[in-house]
């Protein structure tokens, strides 16, 4: 299997001029741990994660080295720490050296990248543009759905089915497509991710069943208890 077979194509992104507070709200609202940073032309220029936000002056968690330690680490490192903890814009806080892969990268290589670099996700880029993202969870999902070796001809058909399913979900205003991942094996669709209600969960299943070529649907979608609780409180 390749990255294109399991990647999440509906990637939530931010621009370099977004604020760190915007990012914090996006991470919490979508229950994700990082977002790619893209330029106006769609080119990937960085990534910002929870790890980039844990040392902040607003929460009184910035590093405060002692005088002797400051002498050891040097002024350059101290300046970098100050920028990380006080800057307001994403461009000043994001990680610029991003580990990348392409849609054709085999999953074994994706796994190696995650392990070697001790990261949780790999952005997928084609012609310099961000087209998806593969996380550790996506690899686990692929493992859970892998039942047998798929022939090349079937794999091609499965890719078309996957694209059709994703496109169908994108057109539905009630579906949070960026929270759903789709994996297809021999016409059988596995759905992973979170939804906001039982009605949305069932509607997504029906929409997928109506997609040409789909012979079976396994619904692994989980209702977001946090969102559901918030709605009950609001009511």
The tens digit of pLDDT for each residue in 177-233 reads: 888 999 998 889 999 999 989 999 999 999 999 998 899 999 999 988 765 555 444
Q: Where are the beta strands (DSSP E) in the chain?
A: 34-38, 44-49, 121-126, 129-135, 180-185, 188-195, 216-219, 222-223
- For 19-61, what is each residue's pLDDT tens digit? 999 999 999 988 888 999 999 888 999 999 988 888 787 877 7
- Token pair 């350059």 is found at 76
Say how many Å lie between the first and final Cα of the chain, rounded: 45
Looking at CATH, the fold of the domain delimited by 147-235 is given as: 3.30.1340
Nearest to 119 by CA among 24, 30, 52, 25: 52
Domain definitions of the chain by residue range: 1-134, 147-235
Q: Is the pTM of this model over 0.75?
A: no
What average pLDDT is seen over the chain? Answer: 84
Kindly tell me the burial class for residue 17, based on how many C-beta atoms sit within 10 Å of its own C-beta (0-12, 13-18, 19 or more).
Answer: exposed
Average pLDDT over residues 145-161: 63
> Band of the pLDDT at 147, cuts 50, 70, 90?
low
Alpha carbon distances (Å) from 212 to 4, 46, 64, 164, 173: 20, 37, 59, 8, 21
Name 223's bridge partners: 195
- pLDDT at position 117, please? 92
| Confidence at residue 154, expressed as pLDDT on a 0 to 100 scale | 52
* CATH no. for 1-134: 3.10.580.10
Q: What is the DSSP string of 12-72?
A: --B-TTSBHHHHHHHHHHHT-SEEEEE-TTSBEEEEEEGGGTSS-GGGT-S----HHHHHH
Q: What is the mean pLDDT of residues 145-170?
A: 73
What integer is the mean pLDDT of 112-125? 93
**Chain center to CA of 36:** 8
| Residue whose C-alpha is closest to residue 180's, from 191, 170, 164 | 191
Q: Please give the pLDDT value at position 233.
A: 44
Give me the pLDDT at residue 18, please. 94
Q: State mean pLDDT over 127-147.
A: 86
Neighbours of 67 (CB within 10 A): 6
pLDDT at 165: 93
* 62: β partners: none
């Amino acid at each position: 299997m390749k990255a294109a077979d399991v990647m999440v194509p509906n990637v939530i992104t931010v621009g370099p001029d977004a604020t760190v507070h915007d990012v914090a709200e996006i991470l919490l609202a979508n229950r994700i741990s990082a977002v790619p940073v893209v330029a106006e032309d769609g080119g990937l220029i960085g990534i910002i994660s929870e790890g980039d936000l844990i040392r902040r002056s607003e929460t009184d968690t910035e590093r405060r080295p002692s005088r002797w330690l400051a002498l050891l680490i040097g002024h350059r490192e101290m300046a970098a720490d100050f920028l990380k903890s006080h800057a307001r814009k994403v461009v000043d806080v994001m990680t610029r050296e991003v580990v990348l892969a392409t849609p054709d990268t085999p999953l074994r290589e994706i796994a190696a990248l995650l392990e070697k670099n001790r990261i949780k996700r790999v952005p997928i880029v084609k012609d310099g543009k961000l087209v998806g993202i593969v996380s550790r969870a996506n690899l686990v999902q692929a493992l859970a759905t892998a039942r047998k070796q798929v022939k090349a001809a079937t794999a091609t058909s499965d890719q078309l089915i996957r694209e059709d399913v994703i496109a169908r979900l994108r057109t539905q205003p009630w579906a949070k497509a960026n929270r759903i991942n789709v994996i297809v094996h021999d016409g059988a669709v596995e759905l992973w991710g979170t939804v906001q209600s039982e009605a949305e969960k069932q509607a997504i299943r029906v929409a997928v069943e109506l997609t040409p070529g789909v012979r079976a649907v396994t619904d692994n979608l989980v209702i977001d208890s946090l969102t559901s609780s918030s709605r009950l409180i609001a009511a």
